[in-house]
């Protein structure tokens, strides 16, 4: 058993030692904040986007960097997950994209405000968060499929590369929210596919496929591209 003087000495040494370790860890952490958060990339657009985030109390529904409410999706990596073009369409009119399914408030953002919000999320997504948020353990794998394109060639429409691939995979790349689009031209007729792309809810009420409000030219271009893609073999 320690004497009173020994116990006092042990307490003092431990207190000073652990205080020193805590101070060193604090200094080391603070010295890395700038590089890990890419402070040099925090431009005026990012700042305006953060102000929009705070002014509209977005954290009342969403989480960002693990902080906030859990009523709506976590948004730390939303740009990587959805893509900027998809976000532009969604933020412009959430209900139009998901009729009757979204609780997202219509904020009537201007185009400039939408760009600022996206810039803010893009900056947030670049922060070194030591792997947060992690990928789901049970995420379905995306299997590569060899695809041959017919008359449309290999070039995909802009709307396909910026919006469709946020949810669907094609040639082994893209999202896994919706079904893979390889060989979709083998499964549907052109008029059926165009009707679906024009108004998914009218064809299948309650479907998770959003209303993209595509123009006639976009519908024609996207339909031609998908109809010209045929699955040849999987590996």
pLDDT digits (tens, 9 = 90+) for 68-104: 998 899 999 999 888 898 899 899 888 877 777 777 8
Q: Which residues of the chain have pLDDT under 70?
A: 136-154, 230-235
pLDDT for the residue 48: 97
Q: Tell me, what's the pLDDT at 197?
A: 93
Please tell me whether residue 163 adopts helix, strand or coil conformation: coil
pLDDT in tens, 172-196: 888 777 888 988 888 889 999 999 9
Q: CA–CA separation, 235 vs 233, rounded Å? A: 7
CATH of the domain at 155: 2.60.40.420
Let me know whether 180 and 116 are in one domain. Answer: no
Domains identified in the chain, total number: 2
Distance CA 226, CA 235 (A): 21
Phi, psi of 146 (to 5 degrees): -80, 130
Instruction: Supply the pLDDT for residue 216.
Output: 93
How many CB atoms are located within 10 Å of the residue 68 CB? Answer: 17
The CATH number of the domain holding residue 47 is 1.10.760.10
Range of the domain at 186: 145-234
Q: Is 55 domain-assigned?
A: yes
């Amino acid at each position: 058993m320690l004497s009173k003087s020994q116990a006092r000495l042990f307490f003092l040494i431990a207190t000073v030692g652990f205080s020193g370790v805590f101070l060193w860890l604090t200094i080391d952490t603070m010295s890395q904040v700038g590089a890990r958060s890419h402070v040099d990339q925090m431009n005026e657009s990012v700042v305006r986007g953060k102000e929009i985030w705070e002014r509209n109390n977005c954290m009342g529904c969403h989480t960002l960097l693990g902080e906030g409410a859990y009523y709506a999706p976590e948004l730390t990596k939303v740009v990587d997950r959805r893509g900027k073009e998809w976000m532009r369409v969604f933020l412009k009119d959430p209900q139009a994209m998901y009729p009757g399914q979204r609780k997202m408030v219509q904020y009537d953002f201007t185009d400039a405000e939408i760009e600022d919000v996206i810039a803010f999320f893009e900056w947030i997504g670049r922060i070194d968060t030591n792997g947060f948020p992690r990928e789901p353990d049970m995420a379905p794998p995306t299997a590569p499929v060899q695809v041959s394109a017919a008359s449309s060639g290999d070039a995909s429409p802009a709307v396909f590369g910026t919006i469709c691939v946020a949810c669907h995979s094609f040639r082994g790349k893209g999202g896994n929210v919706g079904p893979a689009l390889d060989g979709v031209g083998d499964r549907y007729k052109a008029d059926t596919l165009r009707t679906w792309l024009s108004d998914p809810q009218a064809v299948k009420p309650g479907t998770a496929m959003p209303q993209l409000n595509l123009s006639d030219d976009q519908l024609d271009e996207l339909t031609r591209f998908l109809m010209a893609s045929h699955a040849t073999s999987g590996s």
